[in-house]
Structure 1
Amino acid sequence: MYFSSNATFPTAVLAGLLVAAATQAQATESGGSLYPNGAESFTAGALPPPGIYGMLFGESYTASRVNDASGHDLNVPGFKVTANAVVPRFIWVTGTKVWGGNLVLHALVPVVNLKVSVAGNSQSKTGVGDITAGPGLGFHHSQNLHSILGLDFYLPTGGYNKNDLANIGRNYYAIEPLYVLSYIDPTGFNGDIKAGYIFNQRNRATDYHSGDEFHFDYAIGWGLGNGWTAGAGGYVYQQTTPDRQSGAELANSKGKTFAIGPALKYDSGKGWFTTLKWQKEVRSENRAQGSALWLKAVFPL
């Protein structure tokens, strides 16, 4: 049983970078987001016993198109985003009970390599991205059903320059209440959902305030026995409020995406497990559209 990842390396940021390059499409600043949509998969909402745990994420993302508000390709000349990230996450399940749930604290520090190309120009960066930290409460409703309530804080620690083509960080704070639910059966149905609502703050360097965002990651599969679970997963993303620039509301500034793909999990039964999945963004509006490969490993320290 393992607590969900609140990974804040910029998959979604990368997915949306340079939407601003296409003037018809703008959703959140540069079309990105602080939360890496689709990061979670099976066993997202099950908290382990008290102790200190490590989690490692690997991610590779590519996008070569930007869509308008109707989901049509804007054919931005030479547009391509490629990103690779390695993300360690540290989890402390304290053993303290609060409101009947187990208190957990976590911190996540992403290391990202990002390359952005558009209209004959290109830029590449490598460095630490925006850090996420926060508390959560884990509940075990039955042997199969588990949930987590959490509150994440996004910190603008990633490299940022408003004049650069590629930015690893987003240069603003945000707060996100979240809820994670997992149903786990080693030889039957498995289902997971992680839902969050992001309250974005203003980017002072550009006086741009990205709208609030609702998202959820999902996974559905079947336990095959011997530690294996196979199925599908992805995410749904919807920006709920419009962006504002210098205090003025921007028209046509809400993004939307749906992604899906195959997912596989192996649980060793010895305290560690790993998941692998590939997901394709099959529909995007006012954002870039691409695909991502994810690898996640969880282990006690």
Structure 2
Amino acid sequence: MKTVLSRAGQAAGCMLLSLLSAPQAQAFEGGVSPFPVGSTGEYVAGLPPIPGLFVLEQVHHTTSSGLYDNHGDKRPIPFKLSATSATTRLLASYDMTVLGARLYSQLVIPAVSLRTDVAGHGERHSGVANITVSPAVLRWSLTDKTYAVAGLDIALPNGSYDPHRPSVSTGYTSVQPVLGIRHTDPSGLDIGLINRLMVNRENSTTHYRSGSGYVGEFTAGWNVGPWKMGMVGSYLHQFTDDKQGGATIQNNRARSFALGPSLNYNAGPFSVSLSYQRGLYAANTTKNNVLGIGIAIPLWIKH
């Protein structure tokens, strides 16, 4: 969605874009990660063991008040970010097995409203972020309480991307293999970890290639009846450099860590989750605080 700006507004927008996209400001093109780190929350490796069609609705509110350099120090640039997202995740669980695992596929559609403010100059952008498809996800039952998952997510270069302004989406494809494990005791320990590799393609419009990275997300807590109280966290580590027109951008790899409490209620037919992650460390990116709420509902179950 484009906004008609006055000449003064255009100058402010250009200043904002130059600050956000400068090589020493933020890693990943435009400072936008191809995966919203910290968005999974309680639903780490969350795959129901029965065939059917399921929907997970999640709303997140993210805030940040600083940009951080390669050493993790806050830059002397007045900066604020506020983003609200509503994400629909449709998950199909098939009544079949592949390689001894139950087969799933999913579609993830996020809508985002973003506001940034740099040195008193604000910018808004709203629209659909990158849609993600997962053609095949596998779930292996290791014990009656523990299972492993593996799959491939593909973040498509769609959505409300605009190369001339801070945007809610990226203009390139990101291929993301995932591997996770979850142990769930209905009357005790519940712990899960999902590992994600982000392999990013070059943006054909800007000829910028964001570096590859690793994202780890985890949940840990204790089930008491229908309630689970615990913690959620996320870690980002970019391990290859960004490139612009084939030239490497040095000392600009993103790193971040966030941690916070979570509360989950399992009502049987549906479950509700509330979580908060506070940004504890950031380098070459923003230190984000993420408040999230999610509700998982079966749309159809095969009996």
Residue 266 (structure 1) aligns with:
265
Distance 1:173 1:203, change over 3 A: same
The offset of 1:40, in angstroms, is 2.1
Distance 1:20 1:41, change over 3 A: closer
Give yes or no for contact 1:157–1:171 (8 Å, CA) kept in 2: yes
- Is the counterpart of residue 284 in structure 1 residue 282 in structure 2? yes
How many residue pairs were aligned?
Answer: 281
Give yes or no for contact 1:46–1:146 (8 Å, CA) kept in 2: no
Q: Using the alignment, how far apart are the partners of 1:207 and 1:109 within structure 2?
A: 26
Runs of at least 4 residues off by over 3 Å: 17-26
C-alpha RMSD of the superposition: 1.6
Residue 33 (structure 1) aligns with:
33
Give yes or no for contact 1:186–1:229 (8 Å, CA) kept in 2: no
Q: What is the identity percentage for the equivalent residue pairs of Structure 1 and Structure 2?
A: 28
Distance 1:42 1:113, change over 3 A: closer
Which amino acid in the other structure matches residue 144 of structure 1? K
Residue 50 (structure 1) aligns with:
51
Q: Using the alignment, how far apart are the partners of 1:41 and 1:72 within structure 2?
A: 27
The answer to which of 119-128 and 146-155 deviates more is: 119-128
Give yes or no for contact 2:54–2:298 (8 Å, CA) kept in 1: yes
Q: Using the alignment, how far apart are the partners of 1:105 and 1:21 within structure 2?
A: 35
Post-superposition Cα deviations, 1:143-170, rounded to whole Å, max 9, x if no partner, equal 2102211101111112122211x21111
Give yes or no for contact 2:42–2:275 (8 Å, CA) kept in 1: no
Q: Using the alignment, how far apart are the partners of 2:104 and 2:75 within structure 1?
A: 44
Give yes or no for contact 1:19–1:286 (8 Å, CA) kept in 2: no
Query: Which structure 2 segments of 5+ residues have no match?
Result: 1-16
The answer to which of 142-151 and 234-243 deviates more is: 142-151
Give yes or no for contact 1:19–1:288 (8 Å, CA) kept in 2: no
Residue 70 (structure 1) aligns with:
71
Mapping 1:108-147, distance limit 5 Å: 108-134=108-134, 135-147=136-148
Residue 247 (structure 2) aligns with:
248
Which amino acid in the other structure matches residue 33 of structure 1? S
The offset of 1:22, in angstroms, is 6.2
Give yes or no for contact 2:34–2:155 (8 Å, CA) kept in 1: yes
Residue 12 (structure 2) aligns with:
none
Residue 179 (structure 2) aligns with:
179
- Is the counterpart of residue 80 in structure 1 residue 80 in structure 2? yes
Q: Using the alignment, how far apart are the partners of 2:41 and 2:226 within structure 1?
A: 15
Q: Using the alignment, how far apart are the partners of 1:127 and 1:30 within structure 2?
A: 16
Query: Which structure 1 segments of 5+ residues have no match?
Result: 1-16
SS at match of 1:203: coil
Residue 6 (structure 2) aligns with:
none
Residue 293 (structure 1) aligns with:
291
The answer to which of 139-148 and 276-285 deviates more is: 139-148
Mapping 1:211-250, distance limit 5 Å: 211-223=211-223, 225-250=224-249
Q: Using the alignment, how far apart are the partners of 1:187 and 1:95 within structure 2?
A: 28
Q: Using the alignment, how far apart are the partners of 1:227 and 1:276 within structure 2?
A: 14
- Is the counterpart of residue 200 in structure 1 residue 208 in structure 2? no
The offset of 1:26, in angstroms, is 3.5
The offset of 1:195, in angstroms, is 0.6
Residue 11 (structure 2) aligns with:
none
SS at match of 2:65: strand
What TM-score do the two structures reach when normalised by structure 1? 0.89
Residue 13 (structure 1) aligns with:
none
Q: Using the alignment, how far apart are the partners of 1:264 and 1:160 within structure 2?
A: 34
Q: Using the alignment, how far apart are the partners of 1:289 and 1:132 within structure 2?
A: 24
Q: Using the alignment, how far apart are the partners of 1:137 and 1:100 within structure 2?
A: 9
Which amino acid in the other structure matches residue 232 of structure 1? M
